[in-house]
Structure 1
Amino acid sequence: MRARAHCPRSGGPAVLRAPTAGPGPDSGAVAEARARRPSSGRPRCTAMPTTAAADRVGLVFSLFDADGNGAIEPADFDLMGSRVVAALPQADEEARDRLLDALQRYWRTLVTELDADGDGRISPEEFTAVVLDPERFDATIDEFARALSELGDPDGDGLVTRPDFLALMTAIGFDHRNTTALFDAFGPVDGDRVPVAVWAEGIRDYYRPEKAGIPGDRLVPGTAR
């Protein structure tokens, strides 16, 4: 039975978890990333995720796991990045580079924080433990949210058109019908466009462990309406 506590960040129920150390030797990028990781030795305080939050990140894991081998690896992030930037060729090079950098940080955070056995592959359990822990993942997801939403605004007017939104989200791997439902849930304005800031905040909410009943839930199969 896991101990419960009140997390100082959210005030909600939490699980106290000590950092996990892998039994095997580290290698390559894993060892390098771990060498940079601060270690306080204190247990972590992590809010218990809602079922909706677990479903959302489970979907993201399946999209990153391009070869379906049950783990995500550096090559999966390279493939994801190349697909997404190719989906919007009119975006400028700087915006594409920011998205690729954000995806690399996403991977480095996973490896640094919780590659429990040091093999450079992230399991579904490891993935969920990190991305639904705001203490460990908020800064990473903030960079990713800004990079992806700004990539969808190639003319820099602060708005994302429906075609550009659908192109980027389907390149990530989300279903077209679910992606359309998400765009509609964001409340398009001014010629069927969504503000960049609204999309970015929607991405941040998607990874919040306490969130349920949010627009991002529409991306999970069976929830589009």
Structure 2
Amino acid sequence: MGGYHWNWNIFFTPVSTGEPTTYFGWLVAGLINTVVVSLSAWLIALVIGGLMGMMRTVPNRFLAGIGTVYVAIFRNIPLIVQFFIWYIVIPELLPPALGTSFKQLPPSTQFFSSSILCLGLFTAARVCEQVRAGIGALPPGQRAAGLAMGFTLPQTYRFVLMPVACRIIVPPLTSEFLNVFKNSAVASTIGLLELSAQARQLVDYTAQTYESFIAVTLAYALINVIVMFFMRWVDQKTRLPGYIGGK
């Protein structure tokens, strides 16, 4: 590093491609893409993961089997492979009209939709296991009490089990929420210009390697701090007395 020429002003230099922006603007655009993809994927993960987590705990073996197969598939296939499957393979398996419509979309839309679906469904498998563990940690009497009150099984899950289980799994869900942002970097392999991809592009055009990746590291650290403070606030507002973390 003794011969390395540091140049922090490179971020405020107009890009050499002729675009009306600076290299810092590239990083900001990548940060926005990372946040949009990650938050969208997290919403999908919460919905699908919550549903699959409930299915894995019901007495119906068929429904429980669906949840088990889902987790086995999405947790055992490497994430980078799943990205290529969603971007390259899935459009070819769709009905011809639908597959053609997807291929005719602007490239950025293809990158975004494939990344959001892939990352969301992959993370849903992990959320599923958190939800299953949360429901499994509840006393068996809670389900029996709900059924004894006249609730159907779906109503027992909706009004008795899930409200409690979701509160006690907030801490482990925080880790999964952070992982969504970190795993979004894999989306660069199919062409999405998220934060890490923009950093590599900046290095290619400026050769300022250290400045680029220091800036990206700080951006990811900022995201992590915001997520952790938000989830800690959620945990404090939703924790229940008598349970882990409760007062």
Q: Which TM bucket (shorter chain)?
A: under 0.3
Q: Which structure exhibits the higher relative contact order, with contacts defined as CA atoms closer than 8 Å and separated by 6 or more residues?
A: 2
Higher gyration radius (CA): 2
Output the TM-score relative to the length of structure 2.
0.25
Output the TM-score relative to the length of structure 1.
0.27
